[in-house]
Chains A and B, each alone.
Chain A
Amino acid sequence: MRIGVFVCHCGSNIEGTVDTATVAKASLDFPEVVYATDTMYACSEPGQDGIIQAIKDKNLTGVVVASCTPRMHEPTFRRAVERAGLNRFMFEMANIREHVSWIGRDREANTNKSVDLVRIAVEKLRRDAPLIPSKFSVNKRVMVIGGGVAGIQAALDCADGGLEVVLVERESSIGGKMAKLDKTFPTVDCSSCILGPKMVDVAQHPNITLHAYSEVDSIGGYVGNFQVQVKKRATYVDWELCTGCGACMEKCPSKKNPDAFNEKIGPCTSINIPFPQAIPKKAVIDPTTCRQFVKGKCGVCAKVCPTGAIKYDMTDEIVTEDVGAIVAATGYDLFDISKVTEYGGGRYPDVITGLQYERLLSASGPTGGHIKRPSDGKEPKNIVFIQCVGSRDKSLDRPYCSGFCCMYTAKQTILTKDHIPDSQSYVFYMDIRSPGKMYDEFTRRAMEEYGARYIRGRVAMVYPKGDKMIVRGADTLAGTQVEIEADLVVLAAGAEAAKGAPQLAEKLRISYDKYGFFMESHPKLKPVETNTAGVYLAGSCQGPKDIPQSVGQGSAAAAKVLALFSKDMLESDPQISRVDIKRCVGCGKCIMTCPFKAIKEVEFRGQKKAEVIETVCQGCGICTSTCPQGAIQLSHFTDNQILAEVNALCQS
């Protein structure tokens, strides 16, 4: 073998604390190394060209690059050596940036450690073998999980691109949080007027299959060939027959249930269609409140339904959908304001969330679009908005900014003035965060044109006095305490991960952060990809986002899916486990430990043997450390290679 070693300066990132020229020189003493040099930026175009030229000039058959983490640039360099005619697996990386230069300041020690890491890489490379990926076919259907605005956008873009789309929505209608909003910032246009047509497009698109009131039960398979079990929860209404006429809702005798769509500030019937523009516009029975289920007798809806759609004996149903890619767009939920006991949310009816206030503003809400406070139905005159309730608050374990609250609060002050001209809005804020096109202008308009009084400071407590709510806080600009007699207090409740998000992440085999938000593949450069091939993210499931950002991500995720599906065949990663059938004794231990169910039992000349399913194996290597015979080996990471690395390190 003829090995070339390239030691990268990474500008001053590595060269600052590592003598790269010395590392290159030392490499020449390693076995089979015939060429070594340092290079300014190995990943740049001249850097890559230098590698390619050296391969040709020096007849290199393997390359080591000592630079950064392989997570970012291993694919870059593999493509480069491939362009020079080598197999892409005849390449190794030594990480002398994250593992050396960034963590130590002692130049000599760093240089020595870098030499050791290159020595290890060379020993591994000497035992590398060319690997050829195999190809497998792609099922060009995509599943979108979550029918909020991000999921809707992803579904429509994929469907318009000619893909078959399966959209799964937990609630009985798509629309998500956006469907609950009255108006949207910074244009103050009606939320349902801009979202409604998209929802109708979903319903009417020939390429989209919608499973509403459904949840993902389990996910098997791999990129290009996922099998997803979808649990269609019992609605107790045959949706084939239901016309959405609403006769059942008019007659249902159980009318006083908290309405989830109206954020529980209005009542709804036990059989319910959540809102007039619902897609699909179909009724669902809540068996926890329905008299037929609770008391065993009623049956009014069954009697009045003109199409005989009511089916009290309906049960959950599991359907299997085969898809090639999955977009998770499961959104967010609101911080529980009752956890902030000093504000009295949950105890005092006139302390509500911003989303509840949206329902009070909305013409399809419980008050028909008239702002009436929940306690006595009176029109409030003094309204206090409190920002950052469950955002930017370490004491509540919510240190992050929810991003959109500053903007929706400004919008709500504007709408309040429109609804009640003699009203006065007060906003307690920490900082105003309005970085977006026309956003800062919007918050200024709320103050300057609509007279909202912004008070910089936190509120210490909210308590009732007579029929008023006393809001006591600090004005940190004036350096005084303030007390405001409010008729209504609106808390800008922060965003948190959707309920069940960690469980879904585990089904999708993707990572999530400590707050339950899904982890993107790279925070800057791969915002909608995950580390699991074929699984993409859109919208607030990755972190709080406003509507434009969510829509942008929906389209971005769709573009990723369309790019993936632009090929008829995908290449599998050849860095997978392989069984040496001569050594395998058929004990089956590897089958039991494989987390991906990628190993199956086969019979070979009457004997049991293990066999790896190439496309399912993720190359984790658990089986190789389980096998008592050493019969199963992970290609590119064989026992021999790892032992050679250890030897190189110990003998250095």
Chain B
Amino acid sequence: MSEAIAYYPGCSGLGTSKEYDTSTRAVCAALGLSLVDIPDWSCCGSSPAHTKDHVLSAALAARNLQLVSDMGLKAAATPCPSCLTNLRTANHRCEAAPFKAKVDKLLDDPYAGGVNAVSVLQALTEMVGLDTVKSAVRTPLKGLKVACYYGCIMNRPPELMAFDDCENPMAMDNILAAMGAEVVPFPLKVECCGASYGIPRPDVVAKLSGKLLDAAVGVGADMVAVACPLCQMNLDLRQGQVNRAGGTNFRMPVPYFTQLMAVALNIADEEIGFSKLCVDPRPVLSKALAVAD
């Protein structure tokens, strides 16, 4: 039954979002989705290359896509929306022959084309499906109120990403609901968290991420589930900065949606990696699950 897809963890997956990577691998294994590592994968061409040179950025991405093609696979899944954007953008730009010629000039092996990049969220939705997810649940997330936050680029621009509704996406909501969680209608699902402004303008991030946390509290969420390493960092690591800047007192856990899935699938703690997060979700989680029992 196992379906195979190439797996591109991205640079965050080796560092700041290691727990996203380990939980993704564990969840996909438990659900029968076989992730095949890309040998010798390299930078996706995201910052800073894409701000400087589109051809260089696309070439970096295309190198990885060609590696996938060499594996005999037609699709790659990545947990990181930034990687996803760049892989898909490269594909899109390479549809224009003159652009692709410039890209191929930079590559040892020209890109043959035809490799589709999808998010792990899309792969779980389309290749595994909600029914399988539902039937695999061991510990339902009953009683846990989750606000699903997709970030600004997971579904946008819609013509490029071509998955889910770009203003009101539901894929993560549907998966966590299938795992028994009570997903709350979170109105700011695709609003900006401040992204990479965390370094040059932390005040901007404090304001924007503060809005998201405030809205999550407002709709009664126990935690905010995310799908993007940068969003996660802004909402979790910088939550103290948000509180200092806005005079607030948020203590909102911000786990990756794959970590919550892993809990429901009874996956080992070291693969879930809750200890990597700044605001520890475990007290809230065990409290919610206990009340539900």
Contact assessment for A341 and B188 in the assembled complex, using a CB-CB cutoff below 8 Å:
no
Identify which of A340, A341, A347, A465 contacts B215 (C-beta below 8 A): A465
Contact assessment for A463 and B187 in the assembled complex, using a CB-CB cutoff below 8 Å:
yes
Contact assessment for B218 and A341 in the assembled complex, using a CB-CB cutoff below 8 Å:
no
Q: Is B168 in the interface zone, CB < 8 Å from A?
A: yes
Contact assessment for A342 and B167 in the assembled complex, using a CB-CB cutoff below 8 Å:
yes
Contact assessment for A461 and B215 in the assembled complex, using a CB-CB cutoff below 8 Å:
no
Question: What bracket does the count of chain A residues touching chain B fall in?
Answer: 10 to 19
Closest beta carbon of chain B to A44's beta carbon, Å? 52
**Docked CA distance A436–B187 (Å):** 40
Q: Is B165 in the interface zone, CB < 8 Å from A?
A: yes
Contact assessment for A341 and B167 in the assembled complex, using a CB-CB cutoff below 8 Å:
yes
For chain B, what secondary structure do more than half of its interface residues adopt (helix, strand, loop), or is it mixed? loop
Contact assessment for A341 and B187 in the assembled complex, using a CB-CB cutoff below 8 Å:
no
Residue of B nearest to A340 (CB): B167
Closest beta carbon of chain B to A478's beta carbon, Å? 20
Contact assessment for B168 and A347 in the assembled complex, using a CB-CB cutoff below 8 Å:
yes
**Complex interface residues of chain A between 320 and 357 (CB less than 8 A to chain B):** 340-342, 344, 347
**Docked CA distance A465–B213 (Å):** 12
Closest beta carbon of chain B to A463's beta carbon, Å? 3
Residue of A nearest to B165 (CB): A341
**Docked CA distance A461–B188 (Å):** 9
**Docked CA distance A464–B167 (Å):** 15
One digit per residue, 1 when the CB lies within 8 angstroms of any chain B CB and 0 when it does not, for chain A 455-485 equals 0000001011110000000000000000000
Residue of A nearest to B189 (CB): A463
For chain A, what secondary structure do more than half of its interface residues adopt (helix, strand, loop), or is it mixed? mixed
| Chain B residues near A461 (CB-CB < 8 A) | 167, 191
Contact assessment for A463 and B218 in the assembled complex, using a CB-CB cutoff below 8 Å:
no
Contact assessment for A463 and B188 in the assembled complex, using a CB-CB cutoff below 8 Å:
yes
| Chain A residues near B168 (CB-CB < 8 A) | 341-342, 344, 347
Contact assessment for A466 and B218 in the assembled complex, using a CB-CB cutoff below 8 Å:
yes
| Chain A residues near B218 (CB-CB < 8 A) | 465-466
**Complex interface residues of chain B between 128 and 184 (CB less than 8 A to chain A):** 165-168
Closest beta carbon of chain B to A471's beta carbon, Å? 12
**Docked CA distance A465–B166 (Å):** 21
**Complex interface residues of chain B between 6 and 44 (CB less than 8 A to chain A):** none
Closest beta carbon of chain B to A435's beta carbon, Å? 33
**Docked CA distance A340–B165 (Å):** 10
| Chain A residues near B185 (CB-CB < 8 A) | 347
Residue of A nearest to B158 (CB): A395
Closest beta carbon of chain A to B179's beta carbon, Å? 23
One digit per residue, 1 when the CB lies within 8 angstroms of any chain A CB and 0 when it does not, for chain B 218-233 equals 1000000000000000
**Docked CA distance A466–B215 (Å):** 9
| Chain A residues near B165 (CB-CB < 8 A) | 341
Closest beta carbon of chain B to A566's beta carbon, Å? 56
| Chain A residues near B167 (CB-CB < 8 A) | 340-342, 461
| Chain B residues near A340 (CB-CB < 8 A) | 167
One digit per residue, 1 when the CB lies within 8 angstroms of any chain A CB and 0 when it does not, for chain B 74-116 equals 0000000000000000000000000000000000000000000
| Chain A residues near B188 (CB-CB < 8 A) | 463
Residue of A nearest to B219 (CB): A464
**Docked CA distance A73–B264 (Å):** 77
**Docked CA distance A465–B217 (Å):** 10
Closest beta carbon of chain A to B138's beta carbon, Å? 32
Closest beta carbon of chain B to A205's beta carbon, Å? 50
Contacts from A to B (Cβ < 8 Å): 340-342, 344, 347, 461, 463-466
- A-B contacts besides A341-B167, A342-B167, 11 pairs, CB < 8 Å: A341-B166, A341-B168, A342-B168, A347-B168, A347-B185, A461-B191, A463-B187, A463-B215, A464-B187, A465-B215, A466-B218
13 pairs from A and B in contact (CB 8 Å cutoff): A340-B167, A341-B166, A342-B167, A342-B168, A344-B168, A347-B168, A347-B185, A461-B191, A463-B187, A463-B215, A464-B187, A465-B187, A466-B218
Q: Which 9 A-B pairs have the closest CB atoms?
A: A463-B187, A341-B167, A342-B167, A341-B168, A341-B165, A464-B187, A465-B218, A463-B188, A466-B218
Contacts from B to A (Cβ < 8 Å): 165-168, 185, 187-188, 191, 215, 218
